[in-house]
Structure 1
Amino acid sequence: MTYPLIVVPFVVVTVLVTLATRRRPRFAERMASSALTALVLVGLTLVFDNLMIAVDLFSYPEQHLSGLKLGLAPIEDFAYPLCAAFLVPALFTLLTPTASRSALPAQKDTA
């Protein structure tokens, strides 16, 4: 079960960073947009991973998988698009100055 263990740090970081933005404005809107994005990305992953595996473009050693699959695609493949859908907007939110900070007048150097 190597692949599920590789996914765990990505999921943990995504959850922590996303939760760190819960007090920022428009959290609910961001979560709704991320959920919709995740749904689209998971759908695309489902289609294209199954196609690529079906035509033998790549394969996974069974001993490294959890055993859960959606079609031919291992469930672990779906963690990355889910993480991307939530982590990228959360990082953008954390790295963007809040309106209250940017609205403050600049302090003059009195020295």
Structure 2
Amino acid sequence: MNFAQLNAIFLTVAAVVFLAGLWRSRCKGHLVIATVSTVVVLMVLTVIFDNVMIASGLFDYAGHTLNGFRVGLAPIEDFAYPLGGALLLSGLWILFISQGKR
């Protein structure tokens, strides 16, 4: 299994949870704005810190598991994790909050 396949599974689950939370939310606009803002900040931080860590030699990736696209030194596959984390955690937060208000 390569990183693209793993990311597809992770992002699908995260998107389903986020959409379920969005569906249950009363203030959909605020949830979307907060999640998009979070994703933007996480992506910027990922660009900065992944490039620094790769450039300093802290880690590297096996080339055969990547699709070849990079942002600086960071492979594009690394950006699925902040996106998925923001979607998954936002969705879970709303689902747990809405469950407690019953």
Calculate the TM-score normalised by the size of structure 2.
0.90
Structure 2 gap ranges (5+): none
C-alpha deviation, 1:92, in angstroms: 1.2
Provide the aligned length of Structure 1 versus Structure 2.
100
CA RMSD of aligned residues (A): 1.4
Aligned: 1:10 with 2:10: yes
Calculate the TM-score normalised by the size of structure 1.
0.83
Choose between structure 1 and 2: higher helix proportion. 2
What fraction of aligned residue pairs are identical, expressed as a percent? 39
**Conservation of the 8 A alpha-carbon contact between 1:31 and 1:86:** no
C-alpha deviation, 1:22, in angstroms: 2.7
1:14-40 CA distances to partner (integer Å, 9 max, x unpaired)?
111111123321122111101101100
Structure 1 gap ranges (5+): 102-111
Counterpart residue number, 2:92:
91
Q: Which has the larger radius of gyration?
A: 1
Q: Which has the higher contact order (CA 8 A, sep 6+)?
A: 2
Cα separation, 2, equivalents of 1:18 and 1:89: 6
Cα separation, 1, equivalents of 2:83 and 2:22: 18
